[in-house]
Structure 1
Amino acid sequence: MADENDKSTRQDSRQARSSRDDRLKSALRENLKRRKLQARERAASADPSQNEHDSLNEGTAGKTDG
């Protein structure tokens, strides 16, 4: 009897761990998707080399501080 209880406990433990691992994988995947989307949005809105006409800003091109 003790062997049967140990086996069922081990199976339950494995199933719980597998279920937890699946949830974590899913959560990590969703987090990565969200962070990639945020990075793309930041890059698109903070592109200093383009002005509203999608051309280089000629007023600052080639100039250095000094």
Structure 2
Amino acid sequence: MKAPQKTEAEKRAERLAKALRANLGRRKSQSRGRDAVTAEHPETAKADAKMPQDDSE
């Protein structure tokens, strides 16, 4: 027996969920990297925290 075909909305929702999981994985990885640098060099962590964010896109 075949599984019923998915609608475009269901396909889109699955793609979105996959993209969100991938994005979360990247963000967690970046956070772990920043935490590791902060642990190694706590004196620079304060200076990095004060730097303005680049929000231009």
Same fold (TM over 0.5): yes
> Structure 1: 5+ residue runs without aligned partners?
43-66
Higher helix share: 2
Q: Which has the higher contact order (CA 8 A, sep 6+)?
A: 2
What's the TM-score once normalised by structure 2's chain length? 0.62
Identity of aligned residues (%): 13
User: Larger Cα Rg: Structure 1 or Structure 2?
Assistant: 1
> Structure 2: 5+ residue runs without aligned partners?
1-5, 44-57
The CA RMSD measured in Å over matched residues stands at 1.3
What's the TM-score once normalised by structure 1's chain length? 0.54
- How many matched pairs? 38
* Poorly superposed stretches of 4+, deviation over 2 Å: none
